[in-house]
Amino acid sequence: MFVKKGLASLMFAVFLGIMLTGCSTGQKADQPGTDTGTSSKNSDTLIITRLSDAENLDHHFMSTINAATITHGKIYEGLVGRDKNGNFRPMLAEKWSQVDETTWEFNLRKNVTFHDGTPFNAESVKATFDRLLDPDVASPRAVVFKMITEVKIIDDNTIHFILKEPFSPFLSILASHEGGIINPKTISKYGKKIIQEPNGTGPFTFDSWSPGKEIKLVKNKKYWGESPDLNAVVFKVVPEETTRVSMIETGEAHIAEPLSVTMMDTVESSKNARVYRSEGYGTEYIGFNVKKTPFDDVRVRKAVAHAIEMESIIDGVFSNVGTKANSLLGSKVFGYHEQLKAYEYNLNEAKRLLTEAGYPNGFKTSLKTMDSKERINLAEVVQSQLKGIGIKVDIKVLEYGTFVEQVTGGDAEMFIISWRNATGDADYNQYNLFHSSSHGAAGNTFFYSNKEVDRLIESARAVQDDQERIELYKKAQELEMKDAVYVPVRVIENMAAVSNDVRGFEISPSGYLEINDISIK
């Protein structure tokens, strides 16, 4: 999930501005004394060490699950959520129903307030979605709710969503972070600007953010639901993985994430920590910018796909953590195509295709990746394998924010990336990654367009029958594979190093860190 094309440079500038000015409710972010005074010895403060910082804390402008996991379900809550089995459950709406094919009614929970005491009601729901869909605000996430024509207040506790057309995965979108309800006073304060001090209804409130260093949340003592055991949560940015993990050993942290396969053995041999693993909705893949020469030729893309021997990569790079992918949908996602076939390893076919495309001796290209050990290792193996068909690959390792900025802006030829599917529904994957209207930061970093694929994706959104939707997604995935837009690598496993003192930690299949039920002994 990424920010929409055209906003990429703006977002980067805004992020730099936040980096310089910081944001905090009680302490200036650029002060040297931003140490919160917390340590893992404090049994009611959870400390999480993370690879990278959030790019912002505004659900309407977030580009990654990495950022959304800070606020989703913690600061902000939606009308509906998901339980541990992936089923929808009431959150800020006690119940809901479809009045007709294009009208959804939600009965809101009473006696709920935002963190500053502002009442939660139908007006706050309308204010949230009006801001999200306002063209002048230009939210990059507006695309996921563009089917809404009106959010209509029936009374203080009842709201109607009027859609342009039937939209089957509507609940799944509402349950993702884009559906989080924002305090209307915060909306009034920030308007079209990125919200720097998030204010929702969740079990934690925003305390401070020292960009590039840490974000601190504290318990919402007036939370409407079950109060967490934790009094505070600190998300510390620690780019070096060995440091992240060692902080658990020394008692400076409770959770280190993400955890790479290269560090698994170290954690498993520890007396103080354990490895957390769970299958995710997301996949990792090698993408092509199909607008860039020579990848604008499907024969070249197919040649690359045929030249990569994926079994050795799953074993050698990932130590068999995560299963070999056959598409960009994880096996738990609604609409997954189990019978879809990826391109088989076949050097002779790869060479034939390159010759046919006019590159009998190969060519030079670049492969961009973020600065994580696994991605760099994967890039190096791909570089070595593509030598076999004469393709000389220049690996460009970029800081995460720069990587996202360049790939979403179209400044890439080949790239290694992942998509974590926030909803568990194929629509979130298919529309964002492959629809022609999603080019760039909305997700389609392939810059791929296929009218028939667009039609299938749009049809699958509208039909009510689940089996019919599945068949439409199958056809779309088959066309995408035929066009060789990407090379699937693996279905992602969520991994983290967790202190043995921590109970109740999970990572959802979407990749959100679940901390509300955590206790520390």
Query: Domain of 356: which CATH number?
Result: 3.10.105.10
Q: Do 307 and 453 lie in a common domain?
A: yes
Q: Do 345 and 413 lie in a common domain?
A: yes
**Residue 332 is assigned to a structural domain of this protein:** yes
**Residue 358 is assigned to a structural domain of this protein:** yes
Q: Do 412 and 457 lie in a common domain?
A: yes
What b/e readout covers 390-429, taking b as 16+ CB neighbours within 10 angstroms?
bbebebbebebbebbbbbbbbebbbbbbbbbbbbbbbbbb
Mean pLDDT by 10 residues, the chain (521 residues): 36 33 34 40 86 94 90 98 89 97 97 98 98 95 92 98 95 94 97 96 98 97 96 97 96 95 93 95 96 98 98 94 95 95 98 98 97 92 98 96 94 95 90 94 94 97 93 98 98 96 95 95 88
Q: Do 462 and 507 lie in a common domain?
A: no
pLDDT given for residue 31 in this prediction = 33
pLDDT given for residue 41 in this prediction = 53
Q: Do 306 and 222 lie in a common domain?
A: no
**Residue 239 is assigned to a structural domain of this protein:** no
CA dihedral of residues 15, 3, 81, 147 (deg, nearest 10): 140
* C-alpha separations of 449 from 219, 290, 404, 440 in Å: 46, 9, 21, 12
pLDDT given for residue 2 in this prediction = 37
pLDDT given for residue 262 in this prediction = 87
pLDDT given for residue 84 in this prediction = 82
**Residue 471 is assigned to a structural domain of this protein:** yes
From the CB of residue 165, how many other CB atoms can be counted at a distance below 10 Å? 11
Q: Do 399 and 509 lie in a common domain?
A: no
Q: Do 381 and 510 lie in a common domain?
A: no
pLDDT given for residue 29 in this prediction = 35
- If phi > 0 it is left, if psi is from -120 to 50 it is alpha, else beta; for residue 320 that is left
Segments forming the whole domain that contains residue 137: 8-233+501-520
Q: Do 339 and 285 lie in a common domain?
A: yes
Tally of domains within the chain: 2
What b/e readout covers 2-27, taking b as 16+ CB neighbours within 10 angstroms?
bbbbebbeebbebbeebeeebbbeeb
